[in-house]
Amino acid sequence: MFSFQGFIDLPLVWYALIATAVFLYVLLDGFDLGLGILFPFAPSEKCQDRMMTSIAPFWDGNETWLVMGGGGLFAAFPLAYAILMPAFYIPIILMLLGLILRGVSFEFRFKAHDRSKKRWGYVFHLGSLVATMTQGMILGAFVQGISVTGRSFSGGPFDWLNAFSVMTGVALVAGYALLGATWLIMKTEDVTQAWARKCTGYLFWHVAFFMGLVSLCMPIMDPRIRELWFSLPHFAYLGIMPISCIILFWLLWRDLRHQNEYRPFFLIQGIFLMNYIGIGISTWPWLVPYQVTFSQAAAAPESQSLLLVGAVIMLPVVLAYTGYCYWLFRGKSSHESAY
């Protein structure tokens, strides 16, 4: 079988592809999960209809990137997949149940009437909340590292459940809710937009507080991260990221005060990007933090080469479809039913 090993660093390419897929999932599914978190607090059923309509063309396509990230990890880094999955079986199953609940309630609510419509709205909220909370807790447990003996996970089934992971779960709920609120400012008008603006006023400070708290806790918990970020010369050039994050927060606050409709959504995405890069640097080059690097976890070069051919063909197709979908359904959404 052919191999590209002599031309490119295959493990590094696949590490970058999976990291990109996960980040695209966070950005794209983040705003519609955030919309589900905010859903029961909308001022009227008409506003809820408009919220649903604003994400109807996109929400299921957004989850493609989660499948791509998980599938890529399984195929390109089977050792990391075999170690990480047993460590996170429980939160991953809860996350999938949340996503299923959310998907079912989204479809059924469009055909429901009166009280059952309200019930499906609460199920939509519950599914979004559970999926987001578990994603945040997995992230929190991941950056703390997991127990590994030899080539297997050696910890307990609830190692992922601790104070720090609960805090990162709550932080992600606030972050996704802010993404959802800025999406609604961009995609709606009148009462729904005015309510979304009020939500951003509360959520902005929650997100700023939790991001600051996570940034403070990580170097305190792990001396390797402290050494990386606060030693010279790293401190000089890694400082660009927290400074960029502060500038983005300031621009976001100013735009929210001046009632800018479009830029806040992209500014909060920029803040997510800065934090995502920061976590990537803190855990580099570990794919199973502080136990197995991405090079050690890589599949055979022939396998990664064959997978890369498929990715080169399919990724442009998925990106083109996603871009076309967002372009086609650009502009403000109405309260009319999408189905």
Structure confidence at residue 335 (pLDDT)? 58
The full set of domain ranges for the chain reads 10-329
Least Cα distance to 173 among 26, 23, 35, 34 occurs for 34
State the Cα–Cα distance between residues 141 and 65, nearest whole angstrom: 21
Structure confidence at residue 172 (pLDDT)? 96
Residues of the chain falling short of pLDDT 70: 334-339
Q: What is the DSSP string of 10-63?
A: HHHHHHHHHHHHHHHHHHHHHHHHHHHHHGGGSSSHHHHHHHHHHHTTTHHHHT
- Alpha-carbon Rg for the chain, nearest whole angstrom, is 21
Q: What is the pTM of this model?
A: 0.94
pLDDT digits (tens, 9 = 90+) for 39-50: 999 999 999 999
Structure confidence at residue 338 (pLDDT)? 54
State the Cα–Cα distance between residues 48 and 52, nearest whole angstrom: 6
State the Cα–Cα distance between residues 253 and 337, nearest whole angstrom: 33
